[in-house]
Every structure is written in structure tokens, then in C-alpha cells.
Structure 1
Amino acid sequence: MMQEISIVSMIFTAALVLICLFLVLAPFFSLDSYLSFANKGQDSATNKEVLLSTLNELEFEYKMDKISHADYKNLKKQYEAQVVSIMKDEEEQMTSQTVDKDLMAEIEREIEASMKSYQNKKGEGK
């Protein structure tokens, strides 16, 4: 009876040690998937707002000649790609939900109007 308990306890202990090692070492080997999981947990609207304000700051720094043209273009491209990705995710979520078609049409008109105003403002810059 004593040997059966010790064998069972050794197997349980070994399994527990392996699980602990896996939990401790797994994030180091799959850092990208861990980071993408952490990002999905955050509010996409907050992320979008942060990215848009970062784009504004980036443009301001470029106009103040604090960063080079090449850096500006690269960073702007990266941030815009992230914003587009968030907006596509939001759009997919919205279309998967049942939404009033009149409301969607009004939202699309507002988006188009704000895009036109943004393009007009962008044309006035550097």
C-alpha cells in the first residue's frame, strides 16, 4: 500500500512540475501570440484613439523638423495600417450584429464627410 501511494504521488508531482515548467516557459517561446492575445483584450476604440493621436503627434513632429521624412513616412504607414486593421475589425463586428440599415447609412455618410474634411485638411499641410 505504501509503494502505491508513493508511485501515485511521484506521478502527480512529475505532472505538476511539467505543467509549472510549461506555464513559466511558454510565453518566451510564443511571444508574438502572447502579445497579440494581450492586444485583443484591450478596447479597440481606445487603441484607435491612441493611434490617431499618435499620428497627429507624428505629423506635428515632422512639421517641426524633429524627425526625418523617411522616418515620418515609415511610422505613418505603420500606424495607419494598425488603424485600418482596427477599423476593419470594428466593421466586421458591426456587420455581424443586427443593426438598423438606416443607422448604418447615416454612419457611412458621416464617415465619408469626415474623410473628405480630413483630406481637405491634409491638403492644407506640408
Structure 2
Amino acid sequence: MQEITIISMIFTAALVLICLFLVLAPFFSWNSYLNFATKGQDSVSNKEVLLSTLNELEFEYKMDKISHADYKNLKKQYESQVVSIMKDEEEQMSTQTVDKDLMAEIESEIEATMKSYKNKKGERK
């Protein structure tokens, strides 16, 4: 009988600890782990989210839902985040090398297509 009591007490203690963890976990900050895990990923989606947030912020300000001081502070904060993402994207683009011969060939093909389109359009008139 005592074996059942000990096993039930261990099981109950484990169940209580699991419940406590699940209840208290949201109160602790996991931002440092999340930032490390997603750094360099989804910068485009982050930028889109920030830009849509800026639009919503401006809409709420125009609807007089937030004060001018709050609007200025939040707008400045979100804009600085967007700027940092754009700088990171620019640095990544500058490190990538572009084949200049390939780009020249593509541009010449585009120009030739545009000229043929204009010639066909001129013949129809």
C-alpha cells in the first residue's frame, strides 16, 4: 500500500511541477533566445510588419485614439527599426557580386524587345 502512496506522490509532484512551468513560462523573457534563433531570417517579413504597424499607428493617431507624444515616440521607435533592417539588407546586397556581362546582356535584350514592340505598335496605326 505504501508503494502506491509513494508512486502517487511522485506522480502528483511531477504533475504540479509541469503545471507550474506551463503557467509561469509566459512571464519569463525568452526574447534573447528568439532573437538569436531568428537573426538574419525573415527580415523582409519583419520590415513588412513594421511598415504595416506604422500605417496602423498613423491611422490611430488620425482617429485621435493615441496622443501626439505617444504617436511621435512610437513612430520614431518603429522607423528606427525599419531603418536598421533596411541597412542590413543594403549591406547584404552590397556583398553580393553581380555579373556585369550578364546584366548588360539582359539590358540589351530588354531594349531589343522594347524596340520590336514599338515597331509593331507603329505598324498597326
State the 1:71 CA deviation: 0.4
Q: Which residue of 2 aligns with 1:68?
A: 67
Question: What SS does the corresponding residue of 1:67 show, helix, strand or coil?
Answer: coil
Query: How many residue pairs end up in the alignment?
Result: 74
Gaps of at least 5 residues in structure 1 are 1-29, 104-126
In 1, Cα distance between equivalents of 2:67 and 2:38: 29
Identity percentage of aligned residues: 86
Partner of 1:40: 39
Whether 1:90 and 2:122 are equivalent positions in the alignment is no
Counterparts in 2 of 1:1-126, with a 5 A limit?
33-40=32-39, 42-99=41-98
In structure 2, list runs of 5 or more residues that go unmatched: 1-28, 104-125
Q: CA RMSD in A?
A: 2.4
Secondary structure at 2:39 match in 1: helix
Q: 2-side partners of 1:72 and 1:38: how far apart? A: 31
> Deviating runs (4+, > 3 A) in structure 1?
30-33
SS at match of 1:74: helix
Q: Provide Cα deviations, 1:14-39, integer angstroms capped at 9, x if missing partner.
A: xxxxxxxxxxxxxxxx9564242134
Supply the distance in 2 between the matched residues of 1:41 and 1:31 (Cα, whole angstroms).
18
CA shift, 1:96, in A, is: 0.4
Shift of 1:40: 1.1
Query: Structure 1 CA distance, aligned partners of 2:37 and 2:81?
Result: 15
Specify the structure having the higher radius of gyration (Cα): 2
Letter in 2 for 1:89: D
Aligned residue type for 1:58: L
